[in-house]
Structure 1
Amino acid sequence: MPVKPVRSRNVVQPQDYKEAVALERKRQAELQLQSRWFNARERLIGGDYDAWAAQVHDRKIQEATEKGKHEMMGAEMRQNDRIACILDERQRKDKRNLQKAISDFRQAFQKPESRREFDLSDPLALRKDMPARVSDQDVSCTVSGLQKFMGEDLSARERKKAQEEQNREWALEQQRMWSDALADHRSAEDAFTKTRLEFDQTAMHLQKLELATKRTVCAAVKDFNKNQILEVAERRRRERRQEEEDNMAEIANMLQSDFLSENPQQAAIPLGSHRVVPDRWKGLNKEQLEEIRLIQKQQIHEKQRLQEEEKQRDFDLDRQRIQAARANLLFERQQQRLSRELRRAMDNKNLQLAREHKDMQDYLKEQVYTNYPTAQYFTQFNTTSK
């Protein structure tokens, strides 16, 4: 006899993998089926929740994209406002620096003491003034002071030469100070111009970007308005052509109408041959009048006949109504008598059934229903899809 190979308990065979995969597939299918069957909302409504979830997800993505666009536009606007504020602040700062430089220059190089006419308004002029006479060679002695007379000015040449030298020194000093002030002013203007050019270039760049954006928007609006104008013109042209065709058709119909051609059939209307349109009626002839009188006589005789028949019919109906009322009264009395008998028999039957039901309930409670199910009994239902 062939010996069957013994499978070790610790060795995993390929059949084990297949069985495990099959069991896992069945378990997943069972879980999916239970999720569909035990979900009362999906089972009753029958909605595609995956499609709804995908739509909600797409809607959220779209809203997030729109929000990102608005935030980006807001950030760009805030950046532009920040740049404008920075440029404005720099301009004010440069203006303050220039004013401060001018004020410092005036305080440093344009003091009242350095002016040529300062001695005329010097508040300490009396303290700085020399005495009336220091010596015989004092140049401050005037003619009215009787300190020096004509012909006694022996140092006039030296004094004049000293005055000329002093004037030359003052002129050179003023030229040097003016050159330094001009150089400082020129350097300050160059720095201010350079800064202003940088600000202008930045503003021009921003203005170009804004003009490009406006140009694009204006082009799109222009194309849209152009398309709208073309559509309106085409629609008006079709309406005008349709109106012209309608007018031509109306004119042709009026020319070929029965009213202008005086057709006698134009006064007839679909409601009856005896009815006509008053504004189109041309009058009756003798044949029509005789026919109308004959029809009126026939209608009178017919009406009299119908009245006689209606009287006879009403008389027959009254007689039948009286007979039916009498028969109904007799039938109702018989029905009431039968109803009382049936009610009496039904009451007896119900009483008997109530007694039998009470006896059955007592029997079930005392003999049959002695072992009531516990909560563990109800938990075994709705656990699988089988």
Structure 2
Amino acid sequence: MSDDDLLSDRLAQMNLQRCRNRETERRERIFNDKVRTIGVDKEALNMQMKEREKQEEAAREEQNALDADILHNSKVACLLHSREVKERRAMEKAIVDQRRAQQEFDPKDPDRCGKTDPGDAQMMLPGLVGEDPDSESRQRRQKEQLREWLIQQQSEQAAERHQRKLEEQRYDQSREDMDNTALQLQNLEVERRKAAVLANKEYNLAKIEEKRCQRVDRNDEGNQTGTGNHLRGQLTGVDAEPTPGMMGVPGSCPGSDRRAPQESLQQIIQFQKYQIEENKRAELEKKQNEEQHDRVRLDSARTALLMERQQAKLNKQLRQQVDSTNFELAETHKRQKLDMKRGSIDDSFFSKFNTCSR
């Protein structure tokens, strides 16, 4: 909305508010018992007369302005008509003078050609009057020039179509490369997730194996303690209190009434050696499992780091490729925009025209 419309609306609103205030004052003056006058409201009538005079004055000024515009337009039309009449008369007079100057035989004056001064006579080309002897060569040159222009336009259109096709191919190739890069990134992400899941699984299995080994070690320690107590009781002849984790040994007797035979002692010693070897083997397996778990964890961390670096490198290459493609497209659009503004016309186009006159 323009400022004029806002100003006109504001003025109309002010006039309406002024009329409402005036009407409110008039009603208070008329319907008030203390200040009301009997008869007609003289002030309202005077105000109405003033408003009517103002309206008539405004209408009179508008009519005067309209009359002045009509008078001005009438004067301009009269001047243009008179100028047109003068120009038409001058043109007709010039045509008549030209015809008289080019007339060679006058029926009213047959000896006019003989009276003409040879120096003032117009020099004419050999041949018929109005004949152009170079018309064929000029038409041939014009046809050759038109043929060259058509060939040039066709070649330019073909070059433009070829350029557009190359740009479309480059754009399709860039889109395909970006799609392939995105697919590679997705495959790398899937492989990284698989490696993380596998490492987590191996870690959980290692923890389970570690807990199982600890439980076996606790059971072995309890069995060894019970066996030692029982052996000391048999050797000293005193019954040892059984431990909760004590297990029976083949060939041993828990009684304390008699000493253990030699074979039982050898079996106990062999069993203890076997338990010691089992403990060593369990510790070795535990150590190997821990080392394997550490290797798996380091390998998974190294693989994840390499995959993250490779993904960052691919993202950087993809971003650079997208930036270069956008820059090439912007340059192409800018060149096409400049060509559209100039119309693809250079100075060599105008030099091909025939600038010489007859």
Give the TM-score, by structure 1 length.
0.31
User: Whose Rg is larger?
Assistant: 1
Q: Which has the higher contact order (CA 8 A, sep 6+)?
A: 1
